[in-house]
Each structure stands twice: as structure tokens, then as C-alpha cells.
Amino acid sequence: MKSFAAIAILSLLPTITLAAPFTIERRQQISQSDIHNAINKWAHDTSLVSGFLDKAADPANFNNDDDQFKIEAASALMSELDEKKQKAILDEAFGTSNPLVNQANQTLIGQGTFQTVVNLLTELANTGLTAVATDVTEINEDRCTFVLPAIDTYLQQAVLLEQSEFGFSDATADAGAARTEACALLAASAN
């Protein structure tokens, strides 16, 4: 039954990844609420993925239950894919006018770092615990070094856009992507 849930979630993957991006007409309809919700949802999604990766760093956390691992990996994958939806909303809000966002987009999409995370989470959801050691390490290296800093740029620039375009200001001014424990270790080893 557990593997059925993972298969059901993964069967939606082609539909989600092939969904057409927002059209340029949509840009006229992006509201402050859309931007604010995208910031919060994207930050929440990164937190869910980071939480899974922290748990997956020690396979004993799953009690050798491969089906449970696959379900949680599929859930993390769905959160990662939802991040693309939030990114699309913010991309429409920014257009191509923000050079910091353009650079972050180049990191995420142009360099393929975001897709690397999606591919590795897909592998974890499909293969289970057998791939956990190498895939989790590779995901953390990619996310900590490239993906999460680019997401930070998006979120921080979106907060500034909210403030400048809509006069909206709240506690999300320090918006950022949630890090795994591995990110702190990678940062410490780089110093």
C-alpha cells in the first residue's frame, strides 16, 4: 500500500514537469498577494525538502523501511516541484528587469542545478534506500552551494518588490531558504 502511494505521486510527475509556464498576459494579474504567497510557499517547500534530507542523512531514521523512505522521498520531490510553481509566479512578477533575479535564474535553470535536485529526488523516490548515501550527499552539495543561495535571492528580491511596488512590509523581510544541517558542515569545511 505504501509503495502504491509513492507510485501514485510519481505518476503525476510528467504532468507537473511539463506544465506550461504562465503566459505574458498573466503578468498583468500578479498581485501583492500572489507574490506574498509565492514567497511563503517557496520558503515552506524548501523547509520540507531540507527536513527530508536531514532525516535521510541517516537511513536508520527509516528503520530499513524502504517503502516509507520512498513515500517520504516522493513527498520531498513534490515539494521541490512545487517550488517551480512559486518560481514561475515570481518570474512573472519580475519579468526580466531584475539583474539579481536573472542571475539566480541562470544558476537554477541555465546551469541545471534545480533540475539536478529534481532528478536525484526522483531517483531516491524510485530506488529507495539503495541510493541514499550518494544521492543525499550530491543533493546537499548542489542545494547548499547553488540552489538555496539562488532561492534566497529570489525571496529577498520578492520581498523588496512587495515593499517598493505595493508598500507592503512584514516579517518576511528576512525571507530565505531553509538549510539542511549538511549546509552548515559544507560551509565550515570550505573555510
Percentage of the chain modeled with pLDDT above 70:
81
Residue 170 has phi, psi (to 5 degrees) of -155, -165
- Pick the closest to residue 133 from 77, 78, 58 (CA basis): 58
- Pick the closest to residue 151 from 184, 123, 188, 109 (CA basis): 109
- Pick the closest to residue 144 from 107, 91, 105 (CA basis): 107
Q: Determine the distance from the C-alpha atom of residue 157 to the mean position of all C-alpha atoms in its chain, rounded to a whole number.
A: 17
Whole-number pLDDT of residue 187 = 80
- Higher-pLDDT residue of 184 and 71 is 71
Whole-number pLDDT of residue 170 = 65
Whole-number pLDDT of residue 174 = 60
Predicted confidence (pLDDT) per residue in 3-58, tens digit: 544 454 555 444 444 333 333 333 457 898 999 999 999 999 999 999 999 999 99
Predicted confidence (pLDDT) per residue in 92-113, tens digit: 999 998 999 999 999 999 999 9
Amino acid at 103: Q
